[in-house]
A and B are shown apart, each in its own frame.
Chain A
Amino acid sequence: MIRAHQPGSEPIDIPETIPNPVVVPKRTPTPTEPAPKEPVRIPEKVPWTDGRGAGRSVFSAGGSRRG
């Protein structure tokens, strides 16, 4: 900031820089940094049920029907 002062008048502050009013700010696309890696979570095994028997798995014997 530059301070200008003439005798008999109030000193005024003159800014050293101002934005150029005709420049429209633009962002050029640049590579973005990847987010920090999170550990890969492996889903726990959950037994599948078909609603007729608690804990009945599709992989268990007799779990599938054939026409």
Chain B
Amino acid sequence: MALYLFKQWYDFIRKIRPVSYGYSFEDLLALLHDHAPAKVDAVARHRRRVEHGHLSVGLKIHCLGDGSQFSTLVAGLGGSEKILDVNRYKHSRASLCLVLPPVGSARSAILLLECIEHFIGSALFSNPEIQIQVCSPGRLDARRSALLAIGFYLGSDTLRRYTLGDLATSFAEDYYYPRGRRLVLYDAEGDFDRNFDWWKESGEDRLVQPRLPFKNGRSDLLTGSGSRLDIENINLLATLLVHARYHGYWNQLGMQFQEEMEALLEQHLLNGLVDAPWVRTDDPESDDDDRFFAALQELVAYAFEESARIKKEGRLFPGWHEKPVRSSCGILQEVQSLLQKYRSGLVRQSHLLDQGGRA
């Protein structure tokens, strides 16, 4: 009787608390190894290696096609029931959502996706049938979630138009974890792997802790048809913003980035966009898909117009990437410069730390 009750309870919990994946990372790598031995070995070696204090990276692959290219992979990992059915979260138009175990860096995440591409024999990057969701540990507040989404959109190598339906998932109207139709989505308190280094600020020094400071909580970004650059950019943006939010080592750099990004938006009269509900939080006022979508559409229109202007001019101003951020080269160029500035600044400071100097 006790066993029966336990099973009933367990099934109930599984129904309301999603389980991410039902296989081990080692099983996945063993399966992929024959198809891409060098890359799989590189992923295995560096799986938990955190680079320059960036956040770890999780990935979800939503397949909008029939998903037949994944059938061998899913079968090899233990079958659909064990791998896919345990996770009731997916894009509303997806036939399946494959959740990958988190890795220590954007580089490892990209390599892992390339290994899977070798195995399934079709593209995952920039494939309209594949939607990549990039998961970052730590929940960002509403304002920083807006900056994550806007930074991702303007920094991507593809400018996209959306319909609200493009952002619908099985949790859009969920009773327990309503996430709405957004680019940025909080987790649903499922599995969470904390075993990645976290660079903590300790006075002016860096303290490397072996575990993330969050027991739970993620900020995910639904990239749509995503690229390698998208994964790198989201990892950089999330690192800066999460460190600013949770007083990590990159706290000051993150705050500075936030200020510069907001100033940049203000310069283009887009600062009001940040007030829209880019993520659905516990705040009942954030439950407004239409208000979010209006802000997104304004951003999209601005970016497309800017793109048309650049094309009309014929070619880019030579050396635009070396000009200061606020020289008004257009918002797309300015965001590229901003991302480049913070990417190289973070790595430079990290190298200084490694050399024993104070960053």
Contacts and interface: CB of A to CB of B under 8 A. Distances in A.
A22 interface: yes
A17 B300 CA distance: 10
B110 A33 contact: no
Interface residues of A, number: 19
Contacts of B229: 23
Contact of A30 (B39, B330, B332): B39
Contacts of B36: 33
B225 A28 contact: no
Contacts of B158: 17-20
Interface stretch (B22-30, B57-65, B196-204, B303-311): B303-311
Interface in A5-37: 14-25, 28, 30-34
Interface residues of B, number: 31
Contacts of A31: 38-39, 41-42, 111
A61 interface: no
A2 interface: yes
B38 A32 contact: yes
A32 B160 CA distance: 31
A22 B320 contact: yes
Contacts of A23: 156-157, 229, 336
B156 A33 contact: no
Interface in B307-323: 307, 310-311, 316, 320-321
Contacts of A18: 158-159, 304, 307
B38 A33 contact: yes
A25 B320 CA distance: 15
A15 B37 CA distance: 39
A20 B42 CA distance: 31
Contacts of B228: 28
A33 B247 CA distance: 41
A61 to B, nearest CB: 51
B333 interface: yes
A24 B316 CA distance: 11
Contacts of B41: 31
B313 to A, nearest CB: 10
A22 B38 contact: no
B39 A21 contact: no
A20 B39 contact: no
B114 interface: yes
A23 B158 CA distance: 9
A21 B311 CA distance: 8
A34 B330 CA distance: 44
B7 interface: no
B240 to A, nearest CB: 20
Among A15, A17, A20, A28, chain B packs the most CB atoms within 10 A around the CB of A20
Contact of A17 (B159, B330, B332): B159
A28 B157 contact: no
Interface string A31-61: 1111000000000000000000000000000
A57 B36 CA distance: 48
B257 to A, nearest CB: 19
B245 interface: no
B291 interface: no
Interface of A: 2, 14-25, 28, 30-34
Interface of B: 36-39, 41-42, 107, 110-111, 114, 118, 156-161, 225, 228-229, 304, 307, 310-311, 316, 320-321, 330, 332-333, 336
Q: Which 10 A-B pairs have the closest CB atoms?
A: A31-B38, A23-B157, A22-B332, A21-B310, A22-B333, A31-B42, A16-B161, A17-B160, A17-B158, A33-B38
Given A17-B158, A20-B156, A34-B37, 17 more contacts: A16-B160, A17-B225, A18-B159, A20-B157, A20-B332, A22-B310, A22-B316, A22-B333, A22-B336, A23-B157, A25-B157, A28-B110, A28-B228, A30-B114, A32-B38, A33-B37, A33-B118
